[in-house]
A = this chain, B = another copy of it.
């Protein structure tokens, strides 16, 4: 009887228009969320019952066990992982209609699920094991500390009904492990994160000029001469692929050819389009050497090598790179020019198309569909190829109109240190792609964030990826209408917390790095100082040179790409300037006073430690900014001395520059405050 009443009350409950109100810390936001008053207590007695044909699926059983273990970690409740029973009085009932018989997960596999929390318990339903995996991640995000009015303190799930499915079928991360190697445990940790935000593709960029990262048994000199000992064994690859599959993540390997391939050549110089010897590139700069597409021996090599890799990576798709080929590397060789002429390929671009066509045939023979970057598009290339666009929506739209399916990566380059909001507003179906016909639009499969590793290492990778990657994941999964930036940031902050529970280190590793920088001194002042800094954006830092032998242990390596406190300060400044009042001015003044204090406290720490001294000019600038902002606030009523404004503006302007690859993120809002002085 009571149940019925609750259910009827339920229909009176509010239905949330997408993420606009954000009462739930869920990321990405589900397709449809209904919240009802009340909540279900979660305690150590939580049990899971599996139902339906899919209950027998090992992926579902493993996920149920994992859920209990994660719940114990997340709540501190003494939940002992138990074999999932089928008891119909289980607290969490998981109904999975179908068992998953096909070994590799495919593009477009059904990921729908529905989830209900009510007085009757928790119920998760899905047609497929994959849907159940997605639903369990949502459930884990819903478990929060109970309201203080709950009968006993602890954790609970709000009464909720969720129906969810993804907007795009291809939602990935392209991860470079060539420029800096990420050991297998870092890849697994990343997969945990991908699965938690419902991304479903790890695009593993396994070779580039700076390193060849996979063991080849057919051509062992690839990893022996191309990796400096930093590569994945085939056993590790298999382990990672299985780990990803268990979490509903496809692994698409990339071996970038014919450019970005100089790490292949030290071991096999005869593959090169010019004479060797070659060495692995450790520093910045255009490396010499492309794969030679004119020799039949090249194709025999690739056939054997790709055949070996095709077995190692079960996914249907296989990425061959194909980007940034320097035509002069070919056109400077008379032998190759002669081949182009003989084969009537026109130019180097035509030669690359010829190479790609042969590659596509080789991959097809090994049961794979080819993926490549924008540059592979060519009238001669079959329409089965999937195009990954780093060039932008225009290039993607052209490919779609030409009949290719495509995924967008332009706008999602996490290594450029842009704020989450910027990536969040990029949509695979906005801009040029928005104008596509319905049929052509269907060819846009989704997108991939990209992380290039020139300036990141296994140590700070998590902080460079997260939490921004969660915002991109929301773009790929959630309805197009979910665009509220404030809500996104609120939920991103909470995402940071539960990523740590999941074993990732988006914040804790940076803290540890800052403690290293502070040496034997306490790190608190450095943490406060660092909280208003951001790394320079774009390719600015790359221009100073980078390389494998460079230590990435400076302050710029130990801070997040985006300063949360500067963003909030900028918002507060805007609020104040739009409608000034004493309370708002006071809040700004207090914040500036606090930063001024930490700028003073950090000084001995910067002076004492050799890795930190380069940041002293930033500290001077921060002191100046805090004073300028405070003065500006005091001058809003009474006008300042005549020379104050130009003098201060010049100084503030100067502080928007960067030192030691760092920027003071509060400089622009302080500039606004000074600008507003009459």
Find chain B residues with CB under 8 A from A37 CB.
none
Contact pattern, A 126-166, Cβ under 8 Å of B = 1, otherwise 0: 00000000000000000011111010011000000000000
Contact at A497–B515, with CB atoms within 8 Å? yes
**Residues in A488-505 with C-beta less than 8 Å from chain B:** 494, 497, 500-501
Establish whether residues B229 and A459, one from each chain, have CB atoms under 8 Å apart when the complex forms.
no
- Indicate how many identical chains form the complex: 2
By CB atoms of chain B within 10 A, which of A501, A557, A610 has the most? Answer: A610
Find out whether the CB atom of A610 lies under 8 angstroms from the CB atom of B500.
no
A657 within 8 A of B: no
Cβ-based interface call for A513 (8 A): yes
Q: Contact at A610–B150, with CB atoms within 8 Å? A: yes
Question: Inside 8 A of A303's CB, which chain B residues have their CB?
Answer: none
CA A420 – CA B666 in complex, angstroms?
42
Which residues of B lie under 8 Å from residue A82 when comparing CB positions?
229
Q: Would you call A147 and B76 a contact (CB within 8 A)?
A: no
- A642 at the B interface (CB under 8 A): no
Q: Which residues of B contact A153 (CB under 8 A)?
A: 610-611, 613-614
Min CB–CB distance A19 → chain B (angstroms)? 15
Return chain B residues, CB-CB under 8 Å to A73.
459
A608 to B146, CA, bound (A): 9
The answer to whether B76 and A459 touch across the interface, beta carbons within 8 angstroms, is yes
Interface size class on chain A is 35 or more
Contacts of A146 in B (CB 8 A): 610
Question: Within 8 Å CB of A262, what residues of B?
Answer: none
Among listed A169-177, A196-204, A361-369, A546-554, interface-contacting one: A546-554
Q: Is A25 part of the contact surface with B, judged by Cβ < 8 Å?
A: yes
List of B residues within 8 angstroms of A229 by Cβ: 80-82
Give every chain B residue within 8 A of A230 (Cβ-Cβ). 80
Check if A607 is an interface residue, CB within 8 A of chain B. Answer: yes
Q: How far is the CA of A607 from the CA of B149 in the complex (A)?
A: 11
Interface string of A605-634 (1 = CB under 8 A from B): 001111101100000000000000000000
In the complex, whether A358 has a CB less than 8 A from a CB of chain B is: no
| A519 at interface, CB cutoff 8 A | yes
Most buried by B among A146, A550, A551, A614: A551
Q: With A and B bound together, what is the CA distance between A78 and B77 in angstroms?
A: 40
The complex places the Cα of A14 from the Cα of B614 at a distance, in Å, of 32
* Interface presence of A675 (CB below 8 A): no
Per-residue CB proximity of A507-526 to B under 8 Å, as 1/0?
Answer: 01001110111011000000
Interface positions, chain A 577-612, Cβ under 8 Å from B, are 607-611
Residue pair B513, A144 in contact (C-beta under 8 Å)? no
**Structural contact, B610 and A76, CB atoms closer than 8 A:** no
The reply to whether B515 and A494 form a contact with Cβ atoms under 8 Å apart is no
Q: With the chains together, A153 CA to B501 CA distance in Å?
A: 35
- Asked if A75 CB lies within 8 Å of chain B CBs, one says yes
A148 near B613: Cβ-Cβ < 8 Å: yes
Interface residues of A in 411-459 (CB under 8 A from B): 457, 459
* Contact across chains for B76 and A552 when beta carbons are under 8 A apart: yes
Which of B77, B457, B607 interacts with A553 by CB under 8 Å? B77
- Please give, as numbers and ranges, the residues of chain B lying within 8 Å of A497 by CB-CB distance: 515-516, 520
Chain B residues closer than 8 Å to A228, beta-carbon distance: 80
Instruction: Name the distance in Å between A511's Cβ and chain B's nearest Cβ.
Output: 8
| CB of A487 closer than 8 Å to a CB of B | no
Evaluate whether A551 and B44 lie within 8 angstroms (CB atoms) in the complex, with A146-B610, A508-B512 already known. Answer: yes
List chain B residues, Cβ under 8 A from A74: 516
Bound complex: CA of A613 vs CA of B25, how far in Å? 22
Residues of the B chain whose Cβ atoms lie less than 8 Å from the Cβ of A609: 145, 148
Q: Which residues of B contact A78 (CB under 8 A)?
A: 457, 548-552
**Nearest CB of B to A471, in Å:** 17
With A144-B520, A153-B611, A153-B613 known, 12 other A-B pairs at CB within 8 A are A74-B516, A76-B459, A76-B551, A78-B548, A80-B229, A145-B609, A145-B611, A154-B610, A494-B520, A497-B520, A500-B515, A508-B508
Between-chain CB contacts (< 8 Å), 5 pairs: A78-B550, A78-B551, A145-B609, A145-B610, A508-B512
5 smallest beta-carbon distances between A and B, as pairs: A76-B553, A153-B610, A145-B519, A146-B610, A153-B611
Residues of A participating in the B interface, judged by any CB pair closer than 8 Å:
25, 44, 73-78, 80-82, 144-148, 150, 153-154, 228-230, 457, 459, 494, 497, 500-501, 508, 511-513, 515-517, 519-520, 548-553, 557, 607-611, 613-614
